[in-house]
Amino acid sequence: MEERNLYIKGAALVDPEKERIYPADILIENGRISRILTCPGECPAGVPVFNGEGLMAAPGLADTHVHFRDPGFLYKEDINTGAAAAKKGGFTQIVLMANTAPCVDHKEVLGYILEKGRGTGIHIHSCANVSKQMKGRELTDMEELARAGAVGFTDDGIPLLDQELVKEAMVRAGKLKKPISFHEEDPLLITNNGIHAGEASKFYGIGGSPREAEISLVERDLRLAEGTGAEVVIQHISTREGVELIRQAKKKGIRVHGEATPHHFTLTQQAVIEKGTLAKMNPPLREEEDRLAIIQGIVDGTIDLIATDHAPHSREEKMQEIGKAPSGIIGLETALSLGIRELVAKGYLTLPGLIWRMSTAPCKLYGLDGGTLSEGGAADLVLFDPGEQWIVGEFVSKSANSPFIGEKMPGVVYATVCGGKIVYQKGGKNE
């Protein structure tokens, strides 16, 4: 087995569990954190040294809502290019969604994804589908898929409308102790998806997606979840009413987790008017009151997961007219910066609080080996300067469908370490 040893010297450690930042050196041996030295230590002979002076060292980020388009749509992204984007963004744990082509409704596709992921240098996991062929009519063999390595279940991209199927899926996911995630948009209420039914839809002269499309399914699934034992994730929440429904469900003891994306806590429907299809997504960007409610949900713990919903599309696809262009934006390379700019710099969260929601909480929910910096723990880290500015421009991802191009942001990742090995270094080799 390859030995992965490293000595990180002079960094400030971000501890999300104890909500503190403190100076320390980190000795990594055989891919695990061997020692954390709060007094300056001496590097053992033969161990490479990384100079962390002026940088923060935090647990590697974990994104539990990602689309790498592999298999099926490799011109948008593939597992290797997606992983490269993840490394540049500071992510060491990725959970892929199952809406590939073919979709992940049987173990052979899951096996292909996991095997290809093993060669990326970071931890690539995958959910499996809830329903066969994502048609919402018949459940997959969830037990077999769990044995084959699925870390959760979802039909993300297509809402599940059959209540009995949803309830049974929750029960089975609960028995398997695997999270089950839901895309909450009732298609019966939507005329043109990706655009909020309000100022934005009026601007483009289309019907749009009303807030009720999300609210109705969130309300239904929280009711169905009660008593199932399932860990239910309400994905990419976009409405203030949805946030409140999750808040009340948590108070009732329902095992529900709210997920927010950086674009939903940063932008409103005005971005769609200004940037067109680059800001078109499902669910859509909504009103300022919704954005602020999402932030408040993050602050008070109603929303405990920050995930990117990284959704690559080609330039040609996004250049189509607003009603025809696909929904979604990329997010792995901008997520940490947006969290720093919108949540930490504005006083909503501390830096350890941000890392908790972007690393510790998702790792705990999905049972991933990461999310902490502790002796004996996984040597997965991101080293970054939270104050240094950069301009969003060229991406490592195959796609560039981002509404943030040209913006100046804080938070420069200098290195991503996974299993004790530097897999990304600013200005160096991206392995």
Q: What is the mean pLDDT of residues 14-37?
A: 96
- What pLDDT was estimated at residue 4? 87
42 pLDDT band, cuts 50/70/90, is confident
- What pLDDT was estimated at residue 2? 57
pLDDT digits (tens, 9 = 90+) for 161-207: 999 999 999 999 999 999 999 999 999 999 999 999 999 999 999 99
Chain centroid, CA 387 distance in Å: 23
pLDDT digits (tens, 9 = 90+) for 99-158: 999 999 999 999 999 999 999 999 999 999 999 999 999 999 999 999 999 999 999 999
- What pLDDT was estimated at residue 3? 63
Q: With a cut of 50, say whether residue 356 has pLDDT above it.
A: yes
39 pLDDT band, cuts 50/70/90, is confident
Chain centroid, CA 266 distance in Å: 15
Region of 114 (left: φ > 0; alpha: ψ -120 to 50; beta: rest) is: alpha
Helix intervals (H) in 66-210: 79-89, 107-117, 142-147, 163-176, 199-204
**How many CB atoms are located within 10 Å of the residue 292 CB?**
14
Q: With a cut of 90, say whether residue 45 has pLDDT above it.
A: no
Q: What is the mean pLDDT of residues 59-83?
A: 98
The strand pairing partners of 385, in sequence order, are 412
The strand pairing partners of 306, in sequence order, are 260
- What is the C-alpha to C-alpha distance for residues 82 and 88, in angstroms, rounded to an integer? 10
- Counting Cα atoms < 13 Å in the Cβ hemisphere of 270 gives 8
Catalytic positions are: 309
Pick 1 or 206 by higher pLDDT: 206
Note if the pTM is more than 0.85.
Answer: yes
pLDDT digits (tens, 9 = 90+) for 258-310: 999 999 999 999 999 999 999 999 999 999 999 999 999 999 999 999 999 99
What CA–CA distances, in Å, run from 390 to 380, 406, 413? Answer: 24, 10, 10
159 pLDDT band, cuts 50/70/90, is very high
Placement of tokens 């055989």 in the chain: 30
Q: With a cut of 60, say whether residue 64 has pLDDT above it.
A: yes
Q: What is the mean pLDDT of residues 350-377?
A: 97
Torsion, Cα of 221, 224, 225, 230 (10° steps): -100
**How many CB atoms are located within 10 Å of the residue 288 CB?**
10
The strand pairing partners of 66, in sequence order, are 96, 310
- What is the C-alpha to C-alpha distance for residues 269 and 63, in angstroms, rounded to an integer? 25
428 pLDDT band, cuts 50/70/90, is low
Q: With a cut of 60, say whether residue 339 has pLDDT above it.
A: yes
pLDDT digits (tens, 9 = 90+) for 205-252: 999 999 999 999 999 999 999 999 999 999 999 999 999 999 999 999
- What pLDDT was estimated at residue 429? 45
Q: With a cut of 80, say whether residue 41 has pLDDT above it.
A: no
Contact 53/43 with Cβ under 8 angstroms? no
- What whole-number percentage of the chain has pLDDT above 90? 96
